[in-house]
Every structure is written in structure tokens, then in C-alpha cells.
Amino acid sequence: MTGKRHWGMGMAGLLGWRNLAHDRSRFVVTLTGIVFAVVLFTMQVGLFLGFQDSTTTIIRHTGADLWVLGKGARNFEITLPIQERELYLVRSVPGVERAEPLIVQFVPWKKPGGGDESVIVVGFDLNSGLAGPWGLVAGDAAELRRPATVAIDTLFADKLGVPGAGEGKEATVEINGHRARIVAMTQGIRSFTTSPWVFTSLRTAFDLTGFNEDRSNYVIAKVAAGADVTAVRDSLRAILPRCDVYASEEFAAMTRDYWMFTTGAGASVLVSAVLGLLVGAVIVAQVLYATTVDHLAEFGTLRAMGAPSAFIYKVILGQAVISAVLGHVLGIAVSLLVAKGSEAGAAVILVPLPLAGSLFGVTLAMCVGASLVSIRKAMTIDPAMVFQR
């Protein structure tokens, strides 16, 4: 067989495409439905990923390889203090290059204009290079060496009642009954608990949290070059029976799982993502079913002419694939724009490219699945209907 093949689509593909695109307004409605569905579930999944990311943001940025904490803690934010002797024990283990205490504690923040907020003080050793703030956009982290100084994130400046902080305006605040000065501002350090992070030196953290100097929430450790993290972790577990010891990835996973799967907060985001997927699937099913039903008479003509079932499958599945490709490309483009816009907000929506790629499989499955419903309708048409109009 020779002859024009319509860009390799064959006549079935051409008919599928033309059925979709021929009626422009109908096509816009169909595409809008699919784009809406794609945006809906991409946003929900992106929100879930964003929340998930925010649960471990500090752990991932500390640069520590190992975490030592009180027995039984299940997340980063809430742990019981451990004693200073644990710090020295950690330092004594071969393979540990350095180990420092870390304080993480919820305390009240009195807003300059009145009212209180809960914040999480993160007190770290300025000389260790571990656990300091990142993404500085104003001020200088070195200023944290001065007593009673803190760094906060611009995302939470309004919430904490210091909207001008970091823009050359001196901001003095009251944290847990102690005065402190904001000397640096970060950008994009989010908190899953909605309590903003307040970074400060270990020395100031003792004052702000009321911790005794022989206590901390964590001992974080960096292993020496060439040392095996797992082996060092096991050595630490052996000599610290009153503590839990985790590699960073383990601790991040435990914290993430705790917030995302054992609390109502994470579960609700997860349920929203699943609902987004279901609602999207229903929307896609409806618009594609309507597209097929609009052309039932033509499928009847095809069947009367003697077109094999495979040809009709190709037409309808072709419509589904074309709809999926166009809907997904447009939907992801819109989602990326929304995700970009969310970067300035407290709740970030993450749409990494692998997610965008893998969600194409979801879009395709939704479109093809919806088409399978309409295929049954097309295949059960009585071909004699063409003579009965």
C-alpha cells in the first residue's frame, strides 16, 4: 500500500484528532476539563511533596551525618533533652570527626505590636559549620555571635509582627521573656508545624529556652572522611544505651513518616491528593465520554461500512492519547507557574520534573480509562441505525 499516511497517524488517528479539534469550542471545553484535572491533582501531589519536604528541611541542611537524641523520640521538633556527657561519649568514638550539641525547642514569641506566636528556636554551634541557617537575604550570620541575636525567615516576618525586619530596620523582639535582636534574614526556610524557625547561637539558645548548659536536644556528628557512617552509628548505639542514634537519612525518613502518616496534618494532605486524583479522573471521564457520545452517529456509520473493531478502538484511544498529551503539557505548564508563585508563600508546592513526567502516566491512564467506558458505548451501536434516521 502506498499513499499519504497523514503524519503517520493513519486514518484512525486523523479521525480521532479531527473529531477532537473540529469543533473548536467543544475542543476548548474538553481540553479545559483535562487541564483542570491535571492541575488539580498535580497541585495536590505538589502540595503533599511540599509539606513532606518541609518536615525534614532542617535535618537535610545541617550537614550532619549522625543524630543522637533521647530515647523514643519520633520526630525532629519534639525530643527530650540529653545530657552533656553523651556529647563527650560521641566525640570519643573513632570515626567521629566532630560532634556538637543542638537545641531545638518550642518557645513563645511576643510580637512587637501585641500578641504571641509559637516559634522553634534552633541553637547551634557557630564554629561547627553544622546546622546554621542558609539562604540569607539580609544581614550577616556572623552577627549571631553577638549575644541575644537571632535570624528568622522573611516568609514569617509578617506572622511574627516584624514586617520591616531585614530591610535596614532595627527589630528587637521578646522571645520567651528575653529580648533579642534580629540580625539576619533567610528566604525559604519553611516549617511544617507552622511555628517559624528562629536560628541563634548555642549560647543565646540556652537563654531563650531556659535549658541548662549541660543539656541539649541533640548531639549531631560529622564522621571523618573515609569512615563508614553505618559502622560509626552502630558504635554509637553500643555505647549510648539511653539514646537513639540515626543516620541523617534515617532520621529524616522517621520525621517525615511521623508528620505525613501518623498525624492528621499529613494524612489530610494525602487524602486531598487522592481526592484530587479521583475528581480529576471523573472530570476527564466525563469530557471524553461526551466527546465520544457526540460522534456516536459516525461510529455507527463506520460499523455499517464494516470497519473492524480495532479501527474504532484506534479512533477513540487516539482521541484519549492526544487529549492526554495536550492536557498534560498545558496542565503541567499551569502547575509549574502556580508552583513558582508558591515559592513566596509559607506552603510551597513542589512540581519536580520527574513528578511532571510520572504524572503523565496518570493522565494517560485517566484518559485511556475514561475512553474504555466510551468504547463500549461506540461498540454496542446497532450499525443498522444509519438507515433509521
Report the interface residues with another protein, using CB under 8 A.
1-5, 10-12, 14-15, 18-19, 21-22, 297-298, 301-309, 311, 383-384, 386-389
Q: Of 140 and 382, which CB lies nearer to another protein in the complex structure? A: 382
Q: Of 113 and 387, which CB lies nearer to another protein in the complex structure? A: 387
CB of 331 to another protein, least distance (A): 24
Cα distance from N-terminal residue to C-terminal residue, the chain? 35
CB of 19 to another protein, least distance (A): 5
Q: Of 274 and 297, which CB lies nearer to another protein in the complex structure? A: 297
CA distances from residue 237 to 121, 302, 303 in whole angstroms, order as listed: 27, 73, 73
CB of 320 to another protein, least distance (A): 17
Q: In what helix (H) or strand (E) does residue 387 lie, and over which residues does it extend?
A: none
* Beta carbons within 10 angstroms of residue 252's beta carbon: 19
Q: Of 12 and 366, which CB lies nearer to another protein in the complex structure? A: 12
**Full DSSP string of 153-197:** EGGGTTTTT-TTBTTTB--EEEETTEEEEEEEEESS---TTSPPE
What is the dihedral sign for C-alpha 282, 287, 288, 292? positive
CB of 376 to another protein, least distance (A): 15
**Full DSSP string of 347-379:** S-----HHHHHHHHHHHHHHHHHHHHHHHHHHH
CB of 18 to another protein, least distance (A): 4
CA distances from residue 18 to 21, 46, 260, 315, 378 in whole angstroms, order as listed: 5, 34, 45, 10, 17
CB of 29 to another protein, least distance (A): 16
Q: Of 304 and 333, which CB lies nearer to another protein in the complex structure? A: 304
Measured distance CA(323)–CA(364) in Å, rounded: 9
